[in-house]
């Protein structure tokens, strides 16, 4: 796991206070975080170097920021320092309820600059969450495998979310698997399922991507318009299942939209689904294998 430079003892203590209750700024009830995500967040404490000086690496993780007086969720929302309203998680500490704001790694500098100007006496603590990011835009196709949503002709013409599916919290939802997840026994272990529970995987294919590797062995799905990838489709039925998958994949991957062609009842069917795309840097990927034709 990768850590920020300022993940100190205060950050470790803050992790102990975090539980599974979550609610956004508008106080709309949200599903409780699964035990898998709770364990992942708490595991941060166990995996921190004993000398308390974690090594900083480039990452695309989400982070938690502990909210303390005089900062409140309302102040964070009204300050408009972030492009979207971040999610608020609630924990229970020795002094009562504790709130944490979840945001992206690229927002850290913005928050630090805002605090330095508005609340210069506050020293922020940022806690990394090593889990595959899922941030599906409701009014845009972003993020979609092999689809550049920044091009002018692909920008939404009207504000409606009906065509941008799956939605962020839509369940059940189809997922395309192309690596170790394309194994029913592995899914059963990951979900801690009863021995008699079946996990049906369907033969499937997606377009606009290709498989590369990183670290010499890990499969990485990347954008590649014009090519297709074969694998399996699986219907994820709950947030708990999805959280287990995101924890397993880690922050090296992110959830993106994709159209899946799968075989159901001996017929090909197209469904709007999701998959895990590599979220690291190009330099982390292994070199593509090149076929060399022999000269006669």
Beta bridge partners of 209: 223
Backbone phi and psi for residue 102, each to the nearest 5 degrees, phi listed first: -100, 130
Shortest CA distance to 200 belongs to which of 174, 220, 167?
Answer: 174
pLDDT tens per residue across span 81-125: 776 777 788 776 666 678 888 888 888 888 888 889 999 988 887
List CB contacts of 158: < 8 A, sequence separation 6 or more: none
Q: Which residues contact 287 (CB under 8 A, 6 or more apart)?
A: none
CA-CA distance, 145 to 218, in Å (whole number)?
19
**Contact residues for 291 (Cβ-Cβ < 8 A; gap 6+):** none
CATH of 152-284, one of 3.10.490.10, 3.40.50.920, 3.90.320.10, 1.10.10.60: 3.10.490.10
Specify the residue for token string 């022999």.
294
Give 212's strand partners: 220
Residue 219 in tokens = 């499969």
Q: Is the peptide bond before 172 cis (omega within 30 degrees of 0)?
A: yes
CA 45 to chain centre: 20
Return the residue matching tokens 């197209």: 270
Give dist(CA 141, CA 229) in Å, integer: 20
C-alpha to C-alpha distance for 75 and 94, rounded to whole angstroms:
24
- Write the pLDDT tens digit of every residue in 216-263: 999 999 999 999 999 999 999 999 999 999 999 999 999 999 999 998
Q: Which of 33-37, 197-201, 261-265 has the lowest average pLDDT? A: 33-37
Query: What predicted TM-score, i.e. pTM, was given to this entire model?
Result: 0.71
Model confidence at 209, in pLDDT bands (50, 70, 90)? very high
* Cα–Cα distance measured from residue 205 to residue 229, given in angstroms and rounded to the nearest whole number: 6
Asked if residues 205 and 228 have their Cβ atoms less than 8 Å apart, the reply is yes
Reduce the DSSP state of residue 18 to 3 states and report it. Answer: strand
CB distance 180 to 276 below 8 Å:
no
pLDDT digits (tens, 9 = 90+) for 137-157: 988 899 999 988 766 555 655
CB 175 within 8 A of CB 234: yes
- Residue 199 DSSP SS3: coil
CB neighbourhood size of 233 (10 A) = 25
- 145: helix, strand or coil: coil
Domain with CATH 3.10.490.10 in the chain: 152-284
Identify the pLDDT of residue 139.
85
């Amino acid at each position: 796991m990768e850590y920020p430079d300022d993940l100190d003892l205060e950050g470790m203590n803050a992790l102990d206070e975090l539980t599974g209750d979550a609610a956004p700024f508008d106080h709309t009830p949200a599903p409780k975080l699964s035990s898998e995500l709770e364990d992942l967040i708490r595991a941060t404490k166990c995996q921190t170097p004993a000398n308390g000086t974690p090594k900083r690496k480039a990452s695309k993780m989400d982070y938690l920021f502990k909210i303390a007086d005089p900062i409140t969720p309302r102040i964070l929302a009204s300050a408009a320092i972030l492009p979207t309203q971040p999610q608020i998680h609630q924990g229970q500490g020795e002094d009562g309820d504790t709130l944490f704001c979840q945001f992206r790694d690229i927002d850290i500098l913005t928050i630090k600059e805002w605090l330095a100007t508005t609340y210069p006496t506050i020293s922020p603590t940022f806690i990394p969450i090593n889990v595959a990011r899922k941030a599906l835009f409701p009014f845009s196709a972003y993020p979609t495998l092999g689809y550049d949503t920044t091009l002018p002709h692909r920008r939404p013409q009207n504000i409606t979310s009906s065509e941008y599916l799956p939605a962020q919290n839509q369940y059940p939802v189809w997922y395309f698997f192309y690596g170790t997840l394309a194994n029913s026994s592995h899914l059963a272990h990951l979900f801690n399922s009863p021995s008699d529970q079946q996990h049906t995987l369907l033969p499937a294919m997606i377009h606009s991507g290709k498989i590369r590797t990183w670290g010499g062995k890990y499969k990485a799905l990347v954008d590649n318009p014009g090519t297709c990838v074969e694998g399996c489709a699986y219907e994820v039925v709950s947030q708990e299942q999805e959280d287990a998958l995101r924890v397993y994949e880690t922050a090296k991957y992110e959830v993106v939209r994709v159209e899946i062609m799968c075989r159901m009842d001996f017929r090909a069917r197209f469904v709007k689904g999701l998959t895990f795309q590599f979220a690291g840097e190009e330099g982390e990927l292994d070199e593509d294998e090149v076929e060399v034709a022999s000269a006669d």
